[in-house]
């Protein structure tokens, strides 16, 4: 899962009470579908810092609540407000994630691009701007091992 550290970084998650945050504001159908259908309780997730000086994987978190309506879409004062989503027919979903650990170093996008083993990763493929992407068990183990 990507987040811009200027907006919400892994240390912001660390500082949350219970170290839990709801992953609101995602307004992309593919990403929503993953939170709605694919992400299950206890699933581990990489935290990726995007749109910053050194983009890359910075830590690990865990799904502690499965997909449910993103209430930030209902609030006209919220920057992620969407009039087409209402509580009766919520369009956008989110999950809750909990801090697990911060990696000892940033595994940078530049480094990730260098491994043939990761060539199939959605993150690596050119032009992929999804904010939530799948990681295969092999890719997960590989990245943990180089971290």
What mask of x and - would describe binding to DNA in positions 49 to 88, judged by CB under 7 A? -xxx--x---------------------------------
Q: Using the rule CB under 7 A, which residue among 42, 127, 137, 145 binds DNA?
A: 127
**CB-CB contact of 60 with 47 (8 Å):** yes
Q: Using the rule CB under 7 A, which residue among 12, 15, 30, 81 binds DNA?
A: 30
Query: Pseudo-torsion of CA 98, 68, 29, 6, nearest 10°?
Result: -40
Residue 110 contacts DNA per CB under 7 A = yes
- Of 14, 18, 23, 15, the closest CA to residue 43 belongs to 23
For residue 110, the 8-state DSSP code is H
Instruction: Report strand pairing: 2-3 vs 44-49.
Output: parallel
Between 11 and 30, name the residue whose CB sits nearer to DNA. 30
Residue 130 contacts DNA per CB under 7 A = yes
For residue 18, the 8-state DSSP code is G
Between 18 and 77, name the residue whose CB sits nearer to DNA. 77
**CB-CB contact of 70 with 127 (8 Å):** no
Residue 5 contacts DNA per CB under 7 A = no
Contact positions toward DNA, by CB under 7 A?
Answer: 2, 4, 27-30, 50-52, 55, 109-110, 113, 125-131
């Amino acid at each position: 899962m990507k987040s811009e550290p200027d907006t919400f970084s892994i240390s912001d998650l660390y500082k949350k009470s219970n170290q839990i945050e709801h992953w609101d504001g995602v307004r992309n159908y593919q990403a929503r579908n993953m939170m709605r259908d694919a992400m299950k309780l206890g699933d581990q997730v990489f935290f990726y810092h995007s749109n910053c000086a050194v983009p890359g994987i910075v830590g690990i978190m865990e799904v502690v609540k499965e997909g449910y309506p993103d209430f930030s879409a209902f609030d006209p004062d919220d920057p992620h407000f969407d009039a087409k989503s209402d509580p009766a027919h919520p369009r956008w979903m989110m999950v809750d994630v909990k801090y697990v650990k911060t990696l000892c170093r940033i595994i940078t996008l530049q480094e990730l691009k260098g491994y043939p083993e990761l060539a199939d990763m959605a993150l690596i493929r050119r032009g992929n701007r999804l904010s939530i992407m799948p990681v295969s068990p092999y890719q997960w183990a590989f990245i943990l091992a180089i971290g």
